[in-house]
A = this chain, B = another copy of it.
């Protein structure tokens, strides 16, 4: 069923935007959509969009009517694996951890946070946004038993590597890292860094450049 395609990282990163666009179109009762109008609405290059969608679509878009919205949604979801929900655990229930637990958007993108962990006695055993907080010492057992693949790290930097080691030792295959620490993990484990400090650096440089112009 699944076409075996490899997209560039850039193309991959555009997929969630297409998906969001198509879901909105579907909600509005639109049944087919051309790559040209997608490109226009998302302010992307027309040729690029056509190429992205052709790579992912199981049928060709028709020149006039374009792509069937429902089918294209299925194709993208299949490609991204959103139909096999990605079960995850979250470590660190501070303000960032709570925000991640409370984010309804993630489920639309296939992520299912099944449990949270913390060492703080005052938080442990609470239910936050419908998820139970367990003591950290129970992580290994739970992750192994439930065959969880993803660990989300939302602890302060100084604890991040220890948590990563614990997750890796529990059999996790991918880490979503919200700490600022460069984690050391075995090759088969993917670390996806959310590097907010790097984003701030880019914003800062842009402002400096703008100031110098004026």
Please report A residues at the B interface, Cβ cutoff 8 Å. 9, 12-13, 15-17, 19-20, 42-44, 80-82, 84, 86, 95-96, 98-100, 102-103, 105-106, 109-111, 129, 149-150, 157, 173-174, 176, 180-182, 184, 188, 190, 192, 194-208, 210
Q: Cα distance A110–B84 when bound, in Å?
A: 40
Q: Cα distance A15–B200 when bound, in Å?
A: 11
Q: Cα distance A194–B10 when bound, in Å?
A: 14
Q: Is there contact, CB below 8 Å, between B109 and A207?
A: no
A-B pairs with lowest CB-CB distance, top 6:
A99-B99, A16-B197, A95-B102, A13-B198, A190-B206, A81-B204
Q: Is there contact, CB below 8 Å, between A182 and B17?
A: yes
Q: Is there contact, CB below 8 Å, between A197 and B81?
A: no
Q: Is there contact, CB below 8 Å, between B173 and A210?
A: yes
- A79 smallest CB distance to B (angstroms): 8
Q: Cα distance A168–B102 when bound, in Å?
A: 29
Q: Which residue of B lies closest to A193 (CB)?
A: B199
Q: Cα distance A182–B128 when bound, in Å?
A: 31
Q: Cα distance A102–B25 when bound, in Å?
A: 36
Beyond contacts A44-B182, A86-B207: 10 other A-B pairs, Cβ-Cβ < 8 A, are A16-B200, A17-B182, A20-B181, A82-B204, A86-B204, A95-B102, A95-B129, A99-B100, A105-B196, A173-B210
